[in-house]
Amino acid sequence: MFKSPKDLDLFDPLKQYREKFFIPKQKNGEDVIYLAGNSLGLQPKTVREHVEQELLDWEKIALEGHISAKNPWLPYHEFLTDQTARLVGAKPEEVVSMNALTVNLHLLFVSFYRPTNKRHRILIESKAFPSDHYAVQSQIRFHGFDVETSLVEMKPRGGEDTIRTEDIEELIEREGDSIALIWFAGVNYYSGQAFEFERITKAGHKKGCVVGFDLAHATGNLVMKLHEWEIDFAVWCNYKYMNAGPGAIGGAYVHEKHLNDQSLPKFLGWWGHDKETRFLMDHKYIAIPTVESWQLSNPPILQLASLKASLDIFDSAGINELRKKSEQLTSYLEYLIKEKNDNTVDIITPQNINERGCQLSLRIKTNGKDLYQRLLNEGVVCDWREPDVIRVAPVPLYNSFEDVFNFTNILFKR
Ligand SMILES: Cc1ncc(COP(=O)(O)O)c(C=O)c1O
């Protein structure tokens, strides 16, 4: 069915991109098999020069850098806008790089979670990332409601690991009149399931709900059309598939139709104020007519510089091309696991490639932690999630078919 991994790599049109990243080394000097880009992406070699440029301008011209740096700092975040918009399928005025994921979640919930006595509930996956659960619970309490009655958790059917879209639609149809906000991941961090954005959004809108997504595991991984799918708002981080470094600056999207809605409550700061009059320093707020009006503070330039280095790479490779390779890489991983499986591993991620990104989550039936430790000892970087799952994510920018081949050999070595 498949050619040899070496041949697959040879004919990979994106193979030169691996060279653009630092691959950590094992003690023996060989590259590790890095399958943890869903947790922390590798460092693009160009990050250093991007960050150094800003350090240099800070060193040489300091304050002047806001206007006269090679990449002036006042508008620096704008240099990332078009590339970000292309990446997530949005209009430039709908995306901004700011803060971190959970911070952006709260800021956008201020605008998009407006509970009333009749419609106060939030629908969330039962196995969403903990930060989302904490944030959602605190939002419900902040508005004076009770988590017991205002949180609706969507669970998989008994004996299943992933959630069927028809079950989500059915729940929204049944309960939607009391749901203020539907909050789903684009890709679930644990199972690797990619949710059907468009169907969920349509079902929610039909019942009058606002629909938002946590794209931590989707940005840089899936091809998305946030604008066309009419998603109301979304947030993401840039340290996973986006390779912008630990604690990287986050991203936010708000659909065009909400941008000039003056009735939306919003927390304000000076960086959301009209750029022409910002430095008049008066106290009359005029909102920037884009998602930038959700900005509060002037952004961290060194972090934007590192994200810019990564966005240049994504833009040159193209998310459609990356996704094509990603489907092949993950299907190859799935094929090898199925071929070699001695009944010790279950893949809990959906088999349908439209319902997953690059990650496969492997349930290890016995002694999973020992196996995980052995993988680490033998040069594989992946991660362990309690109680019994090893997550592996071959990333199309820097993983090879040979990485996947070698990984499965180590996984099933007896
Ligand atoms: C799905 C998901 N949501 C939220 C977070 C929290 O992100 P942050 O620490 O950037 O707020 C993470 C972090 O890994 C995540 O995977």
pLDDT digits (tens, 9 = 90+) for 324-334: 999 999 999 99
Are the CB atoms for 378 and 410 separated by under 8 Å?
yes
pLDDT at 213: 98
Question: By alpha-carbon position, which residue is closest to atom 13 of ligand 1?
Answer: 216
The answer, yes or no, to whether any atom of ligand 1 lies below 6 A from the CB of 221, is no
The answer, yes or no, to whether any atom of ligand 1 lies below 6 A from the CB of 132, is yes
Whose CA is closest to 294, among 49, 129, 103?
103
Question: By alpha-carbon position, which residue is closest to atom 4 of ligand 1?
Answer: 131
Q: In this structure, which amino acid lies at residue 42?
A: L
Are the CB atoms for 354 and 189 separated by under 8 Å?
no
The closest-lying atom of ligand 1 relative to the alpha carbon of residue 102 is 11
The answer, yes or no, to whether any atom of ligand 1 lies below 6 A from the CB of 131, is yes
State the angle between helix axes of 401-411 and 368-377 in degrees (0 to 180), rounded to the nearest 10.
Answer: 130
pLDDT at 300: 98
Are the CB atoms for 156 and 163 separated by under 8 Å?
yes
The answer, yes or no, to whether any atom of ligand 1 lies below 6 A from the CB of 309, is no
Walk across the sheet containing 121-125 and list its strands: 95-97, 251-254, 233-236, 210-214, 179-185, 121-125, 151-154
pTM above 0.95, yes or no: yes
pLDDT along the chain (414 residues), means of 10: 85 97 96 98 98 98 98 98 98 98 98 98 97 98 98 97 98 98 98 98 98 98 98 98 98 98 96 95 95 98 98 98 98 97 95 98 96 97 96 98 98 91
From ligand 1's centre to the CA of 129, what distance in Å?
Answer: 7
From ligand 1's centre to the CA of 239, what distance in Å?
Answer: 10
pLDDT digits (tens, 9 = 90+) for 111-145: 999 999 999 999 999 999 999 999 999 999 999 99
Give the CA angle between residues 85, 89, 93 to the nearest 5°. 40
Q: In this structure, which amino acid lies at residue 132?
A: D
The answer, yes or no, to whether any atom of ligand 1 lies below 6 A from the CB of 101, is yes
pLDDT over 70, % of the chain? 100
From ligand 1's centre to the CA of 101, what distance in Å?
Answer: 6
From ligand 1's centre to the CA of 342, what distance in Å?
Answer: 34
Residue to mutate, 98, 188, 189, ligand 1, most ligand atoms under 8 Å from C-beta:
189
From ligand 1's centre to the CA of 236, what distance in Å?
Answer: 8
Residue to mutate, 40, 98, 131, 307, ligand 1, most ligand atoms under 8 Å from C-beta:
131
The closest-lying atom of ligand 1 relative to the alpha carbon of residue 128 is 1
Instruction: Estimate to the nearest angstrom the gap between the alpha carbon of 154 and the chain centroid.
Output: 20
